[in-house]
Structure 1
Amino acid sequence: MDNGLEERERLLGFEGQERNDLKQRIWKEMKLTWRIAFPSILSRIASFGQILVTQSFLGHVGEIELASFALVQSIFLRFVNGILLGMSSATETLCGQAFGAGHYHMMGIYLQRSWLVDCVTATIMLPVFIFGTPIMNLLGQQKDIAETGGVISLWLIPFVYNFVFSLTIQMFLQAQLKNMIIGWLSTASFLLHVLMSWIFVSELDLGIAGAMGSLNISAWLNIIGLFVYIFCGWCPDTWKGFTSAAFTDILPVIKLSISSGVMICLELWYNSILVLLAGYMKNATVAISAFSICLNVSAFQLMIFLGFLGVAVGAGMQSTVAFVNLGSYYFVGVPTGVLLAYVANLGVTGLWIGLLGGIVIQTIILSFIIWRTDWDDQVNKASQRLNKWLLKPSEKSDRSSPNM
C-alpha cells in the first residue's frame, strides 16, 4: 500500500509539473505572439483608419463626394492595392525564410528587388487613375459621381506610390521582429491625418483637396520615417546599402510576386465587384455609400485579426490560395449575391449575404488545406528556394546580371 501511495503521489506530482510547464509554455508563446502581432495590428488599424477618416470628412463635404470616394476607393484603389499588396507579400515570404535561415544580408536585396517590381507595377496601373471619369462612365455609373470620382482618383496617385514602400518595408521589418517602429509611425501618421483633415476640411473648407492632401502628406511622412529607420543604422545586419545585386535573379521574384498578387487581388476585388454592383441599384448614391461603409467597417475589424495571421504567404502557398479564392468568391459568392440582390429583390442585403457565403466557403477549404499540409515538406521547399537564390556577401558586388 505504501509503495502504491508513493507511486500515485509521484505520478500526481509529475502531472502537476507537466501542467505547470504547459501553462508556462502557453504564457511564453502568448507573449511572443503579442510582441509580434500587436505592432502589426496597430499598423493595419492606423493605415486603414486613414481611409475611413478621409471618407468621413468627405461625407461632410457632400453626398456626391462621399459616394465618389467610396466608388474610387472600393474599385480603383482596392484594385491597385490588391495587386501591390499581393506582389509585396513575396517580400514577406522571402525575407521571413531568409531571416529564419540566417541569410540576413539577402533581406535587403529582396527588399530592393520588391521596390523595383512594385514601382514598375504601380506605374503600369496609373491609367486607371488618370482616366478615372471615362472608366466610370464606361461602367455605367452616374455622371456626377463619375466626374467627382475622376478628380478624387487623380489625388490618389501619390498615395498609390506610398504602397510601393510601405507594404514592402513593413514585411521586411516584421520578418526580423522590428515591427514596433511600424506600429508607432503608423499611429503617429494616423493622428496627424486626423488633425490635418480637421484643419483642411472643417476649418479651411478646402473640400476634396483638403481631405486628399491630408491623406497624401500623412502617408508619405510615415514612409520618410521608415526610410530614416532603415538607412540610418537600425537594421545593420539586413540593410547593407543599395546594390546592383537587386537587379539579379529578378525573374523568380516576379513569378512569386505575380502568384501572390493574384491571390490577394481575387480576395480584394471580390468586395470591389459587389460595390460596383451596388452602383446599378436604384438610388445608387445611397446604395454605394451604405455598402462601402459597411465593407470598410468590416475590414477595419478584420485588421485586428490580420495581425495574427502570415501562414499561406509564409509557406509560399500563394498559387493554391489563388485557386481557392477564385472558386469561393467568383463561382459562389458573386453569383449568389447577384441572384439574391436582383432576382430575389433583397438589394444590398442580398449582396452582403453573397459576400458572407463566399467567405465561409473559403474559410472551410483553407482550414482543410492547412490541416492536411505536410509542414516538413514545406520546410524542405523553402530551403531549396533560399539556396537557389542565395548570394554570398562577397558575391553581391560581383554579380551584375542574371547570367553571370
Structure 2
Amino acid sequence: MEEEGSAFTAAAAAAAVPLLSYSNGSHHRKLNPSSAAAPPPPSLSVFLSEVWVETKLIWYIAGPTILTALLQFFLTFITQTFVGHLGTLPLAAVGIQTMVIGGIGFGILMGMGSALETFCGQAYGAGRLDLMGIYMQRSWVILFGTSLVLTPAYVFAGPILRLLGQSDAVAALAGELSLWLLPELFAFALTFPAQKFLQAQSKVMPMVWISLIAVGFHGLMSWVFIFKVGLGLVGAAIILNLSYWIIAVGQIVYIVYWCTDAWSGLSWLAFCDLGRFIGISIASGVMICLEYWTYMVLILLAGLLKNAELQIDAATICMSLEGFVFMIPLSFLAASSVRVSNELGAGRPRTAKFSVWVMVSMSVIIQITCTVIIILARNHFPLLFTSDKRVIAEVSRLVFFLSASVLLSSIQPILSGVAIGAGWQTMVAYINIGCYYLIGITVGCVLGFKFKLGLQGLWSGVIIGIAVQTLILLVITLRTNWEKQAS
C-alpha cells in the first residue's frame, strides 16, 4: 500500500535534522543521527552515561517481557512438574507432546507472529501507529488459517509419533494428550500477534499482570484437577487450555480498551496486501522454527536410543530447565527486535547498533550466572520433576551439555532479534538450515549412533550447530551497514 510505504520513506528524512529527540514511554533522550563524518570517540564518562541510558531503555522493554515469558513458560513447567509425579510414562508423553506435536504448532505460530516485530516496530518508529492495528489483524488472519492447517498434526499425533519411531505406549498417551490440547493452538494464534503489537509500543506491563493471573489460576487448578479430582493427564490438558485462553482474551481486552491510539477496531484492510505479509510471516516462521525444532528433533532421536523412556525423561527435564532459562535471552530477542526496528524506522542507525552490543553484554553476564547455578544444583533440580534415581543420574550426566547450550543462548537469540528487526528473516532461515541440520543434527547422529555416545553425542552435535550459527550471525552483524539499513 502506498500509504504504508510512505511512512518509512518519510522517516528517513528525519536524518537531516541536526538533533533528534527520542521518547519511549517515560524515558527521554537526545540522540545524534548518522552523518557522513564519523564523530570523535566519546570520553569514558560519556560512553558510560550512554550505556546507562540505553540499559534503562532496554530493561524498560526487556524486564517486563522477561517476567511475561517466564510466567507463561511456567504454565508448561508446572504441568510437567505435576505430571512427572504420576510416573515416568506420563512424563515422557508430556515431553514428547510438548516438544514435538505442541512444538510444531508453537514454533510455527510464534515464528510467523514475529513478523509483526518488523512491521509494527518500524511503523511505531516512523510514528504511524494507525497502521499497527491493521498489521496485527493481518497476522491474526494468517495465524488462524495456519492453525487450521496444523490441526491434523494434533488429531493424528499418535500415528505420527509411531511413524517417527516412538514406542507404542508413549505415542498412544501423547496422541491422546494432543487431542485434548487442540484449543491451545488457536489461543496461540491470538496471543502471539497481540504480544508483538504491545511489545512494539513498549506496553509490556499489562502482559505481566495478565500472565500472573493465568499462572496463579493454572497452579491451583492443575493441583486440584490432576490430584484431587483424579483426572490425571486429561485434567492437566483442560487447565493448560484454559490458562492459555485467559492470556489471549486478557490481552485482546486490554488492546481494545486501552490502546485506542493504535487500535481503531476491526477493518477489512486486514485482508489487503496479504501476499507480502504472508511472505515475511513464512520467512519469520521458518527462521524461528528451524531453531526451535532442533530440540524437537533431539527429543525424537532420544526416543530411538536404548532405554528410550529414560532418555526422553532426562532430555525433557533438561529441555524444561533450558527453556526456563532461555526465556531471559528470548526476551532480549524481543527487546532487540523492538529497539532495532524502532531506531531504523526513525532513521537512527547508530543507536540501533549501540543497543545491540549493550544487550549482548548484559545477556552474556546473566547467562554465565545461570550456568554456574545450574552446575552447582545439578544433583537437586531433577527432584522437581521426578523421584526416579535413574532419571536423576542421567540428568546429572547431561548437565555440562545443558550448560554449554545455556551459554550459547546468551548471544544467539539477540542476533536473531536483530535479524527480525532489520527484516533479514529469509537469509537467516537458510543459515539455520545449514547450521542446525546439515551440521548440527548430522554430527549429532554420527556421535550418538555411530560412536555409541547416546544422548550426549546427539546433544554435542546440536551444540556445534548452534555455535556455528552464532558465529555466522555475529560476523553478519559486525559487517552490517546500519546507515544503509535505516534508509
Instruction: Within 5 Å, give how 1:202-281 maps onto structure 2.
Output: 202-232=227-257, 234-281=258-305
Which residue is 1:314 aligned to? 421
Q: Which has the larger radius of gyration?
A: 1
> Which residue identity lines up with residue 123 of structure 1 in the other structure?
L
Alignment RMSD (CA, Å): 1.5
Deviation at 1:341, TM superposition (A): 0.9
Cα offsets for 1:295-347 (capped at 9, x unmatched): 22112111111111221111111011111111111111101111111111111
Q: Are 2:466 and 1:359 equivalent residues in the alignment?
A: yes
SS of the residue aligned with 2:165?
Answer: coil
Q: Are 2:177 and 1:152 equivalent residues in the alignment?
A: yes
Cα offsets for 1:235-282 (capped at 9, x unmatched): 111000001111111110001111111111111111111111111111
Q: Pick the aligned partner of 2:160 from 111, 117, 135.
A: 135
SS of the residue aligned with 1:61?
Answer: coil
Q: Pick the aligned partner of 2:447 from 340, 353, 374.
A: 340
Q: Pick the aligned partner of 1:92 from 109, 117, 122.
A: 117
Which residue is 2:7 aligned to? none
Q: Pick the aligned partner of 1:69 from 94, 101, 115.
A: 94
> Which residue identity lines up with residue 109 of structure 2 in the other structure?
L
Cα offsets for 1:95-131 (capped at 9, x unmatched): 0000011111100000000000000001100000001
Q: Pick the aligned partner of 1:163 from 188, 195, 198.
A: 188
Q: Are 2:347 and 1:323 equivalent residues in the alignment?
A: no
**Separation (CA, whole Å) in 1 of partners of 2:295 and 2:120:** 29
Q: Which runs of 5+ in 2 are unaligned?
A: 1-41, 338-417
Q: Pick the aligned partner of 1:198 from 203, 216, 223.
A: 223
Q: Are 2:148 and 1:41 equivalent residues in the alignment?
A: no
Which residue is 2:127 aligned to? 102
> Which residue identity lines up with residue 77 of structure 1 in the other structure?
G
Deviation at 1:22, TM superposition (A): 3.3
**Separation (CA, whole Å) in 1 of partners of 2:436 and 2:97:** 21
> Which residue identity lines up with residue 360 of structure 1 in the other structure?
A
Deviation at 1:376, TM superposition (A): 1.6
Deviation at 1:18, TM superposition (A): 4.5
Deviation at 1:361, TM superposition (A): 0.7
**Separation (CA, whole Å) in 1 of partners of 2:158 and 2:331:** 35
Which residue is 1:375 aligned to? 482
Cα offsets for 1:69-116 (capped at 9, x unmatched): 111111111112111111101111100000011111100000000000
Deviation at 1:48, TM superposition (A): 1.6
SS of the residue aligned with 2:166?
Answer: coil
SS of the residue aligned with 1:97?
Answer: helix
> Which residue identity lines up with residue 60 of structure 1 in the other structure?
H
Which residue is 1:9 aligned to? none
**Separation (CA, whole Å) in 1 of partners of 2:253 and 2:76:** 25
**Separation (CA, whole Å) in 2 of partners of 1:183 and 1:320:** 33
Deviation at 1:220, TM superposition (A): 0.8
Q: Pick the aligned partner of 1:304 from 325, 328, 334.
A: 328
SS of the residue aligned with 2:85?
Answer: helix
Deviation at 1:370, TM superposition (A): 0.6
SS of the residue aligned with 2:202?
Answer: coil
> Which residue identity lines up with residue 128 of structure 1 in the other structure?
A
**Separation (CA, whole Å) in 2 of partners of 1:87 and 1:374:** 26
Q: Which runs of 5+ in 1 are unaligned?
A: 1-16, 381-404
**Separation (CA, whole Å) in 1 of partners of 2:212 and 2:485:** 35
> Which residue identity lines up with residue 343 of structure 1 in the other structure?
K
**Separation (CA, whole Å) in 2 of partners of 1:308 and 1:143:** 40
Q: Pick the aligned partner of 1:114 from 136, 139, 157.
A: 139
- TM-score, structure 1 as length reference: 0.88
**Separation (CA, whole Å) in 2 of partners of 1:19 and 1:363:** 29
How many residues of Structure 1 are paired with residues of Structure 2 in the alignment? 364
> Which residue identity lines up with residue 364 of structure 1 in the other structure?
L
- TM-score, structure 2 as length reference: 0.73
The answer to whether the 8 A contact 2:115-2:284 is kept is: yes
Deviation at 1:37, TM superposition (A): 0.3
